[in-house]
Amino acid sequence: MNRLKSPLLWAFLLTAAAFAGVLAWLLADPATSRGDALKTAGLAGGAIAVLYGLWLNDRRRRVEEARHAVESSRVSDERFAKAVELLGHEADQVRVGAMHALAGLARARPEDYAQTVIDVLCAYLRRPFKHPNFGDELETAELAAADQERQVRRTAQQLIRNLLPHVAAPDAPAYALDLTGARLDRFNLARKRVAWLGAQRTEIINGAAFADTSFRDMVFFTGAKFHGKVEFDRTKFGSSLGFRDFTAYDQVSFKDVEFAQPPDFTDATFPPGTVLPGK
């Protein structure tokens, strides 16, 4: 029974049937010589054999591609796991290298890794971090490590920015950013397209840029604190926007901003002279 399922057996039977059928048909014609009949029948049978060979090669190719895809996925998963593990390494250069390795995976296989890598980088930025620029008091022996970690975190911010699609690419996938409670330095999402942004209780120093940024879904700056100039010029908010309990210590610009829904500025604090949209 299993032999009847063999493609090779069926190919042989079809070849033989084609040869016999064509030969019998041609021999029935008195105008066709026996030699011509054998030659034509042989060509017909050979065509069947060639088609079988082509099918077999295509099948082998697809099997090899599937095997390669599985192997590539396994290797990528191992690289991802190793890079995530190295984010906890004590050496700052190792942590930076791990971040670049993750970003490389996201660029190579965005459908599998882009959002996941962004989530991991955001999680890194949500880790507790102390630095004098945020008003923290540190011992002299702690300052060097704090400066190194500051540079690592700025690398994470830049890689997140690089992975986000440009605002002029409306068909590109939009990714979500969860930076709740993070401490950020010179945060820049200008001219990027973002799914949603969670920045509750986030603290940003040295300014933030959201000019020409397009947010598809919800954005929350609830309880956030921004130091330095902040630009929301021509920013598009596609869903709800929350500035409840938000505090800005320096200039904030809302020129030509677009809201899908009225923003919530309840108990928000802005410097004197700030022009709030809708106010």
More confident residue, 67 or 188: 188
pLDDT reported for residue 277: 85
- 227 and 177 co-located in one domain: yes
Last residue of a domain, one of 111, 130, 163: 163
| pLDDT tens string 219-242 | 999 999 999 999 999 999 999 999
- 132 and 211 co-located in one domain: no
- Residue 53 dihedral angles phi and psi, to the nearest 5°: -60, -40
78 in a structural domain: no
- Whether 155 has a pLDDT exceeding 60, the answer reads yes
- 176 and 207 co-located in one domain: yes
pLDDT reported for residue 170: 81
47 in a structural domain: yes
- Residue 41 dihedral angles phi and psi, to the nearest 5°: -65, -40
- 180 and 214 co-located in one domain: yes
C-beta neighbour count of 254 within 10 angstroms: 21
Under 8 Å CB-to-CB from 232, ≥6 apart: which residues? 210, 211, 252, 253, 254, 255, 257
75 in a structural domain: no
Under 8 Å CB-to-CB from 143, ≥6 apart: which residues? 132
Tell me which H or E stretch contains 230: strand 230-231
**Angle formed by the axes of helices 7-27 and 34-86, nearest 10°:** 160
77 in a structural domain: no
| pLDDT tens string 197-226 | 999 999 999 999 999 999 999 999 999 999
- 157 and 173 co-located in one domain: no
Q: What is the mean pLDDT of residues 27-52?
A: 57
46 in a structural domain: yes
Nearest Cα neighbor of 183 from 218, 142, 143, 152 is: 152
- 148 and 189 co-located in one domain: no
Last residue of a domain, one of 163, 184, 218: 163
- 262 and 190 co-located in one domain: yes
Structural domain span for residue 269: 166-279
pLDDT reported for residue 4: 47
Integer CA distances (angstroms), 60 to 19, 49, 56, 171, in order = 27, 16, 6, 35
Round the average pLDDT of the chain to a whole number and report it. Answer: 86
Q: What is the mean pLDDT of residues 27-41?
A: 55
Last residue of a domain, one of 163, 183, 214: 163
- 144 and 205 co-located in one domain: no
d(CA 155, CA 153): 5
- 199 and 229 co-located in one domain: yes
pLDDT reported for residue 12: 53
- 157 and 216 co-located in one domain: no
Question: Percent helix, strand, coil in the chain (nearest 5)?
Answer: 50, 15, 35
- 93 and 140 co-located in one domain: yes
Q: How confident is the model at residue 245 (pLDDT cuts 50, 70, 90)?
A: very high
Under 8 Å CB-to-CB from 1, ≥6 apart: which residues? none
Q: What is the mean pLDDT of residues 171-181?
A: 96
146 by Cβ neighbours in 10 Å (0-12 / 13-18 / 19+) ranks as middle
3-state secondary structure of 198: strand
70 in a structural domain: no
79 in a structural domain: no
69 in a structural domain: no
| pLDDT tens string 54-92 | 666 767 777 666 666 556 677 778 999 999 999 999 999
- 177 and 260 co-located in one domain: yes
Structural domains in the chain (count) = 3
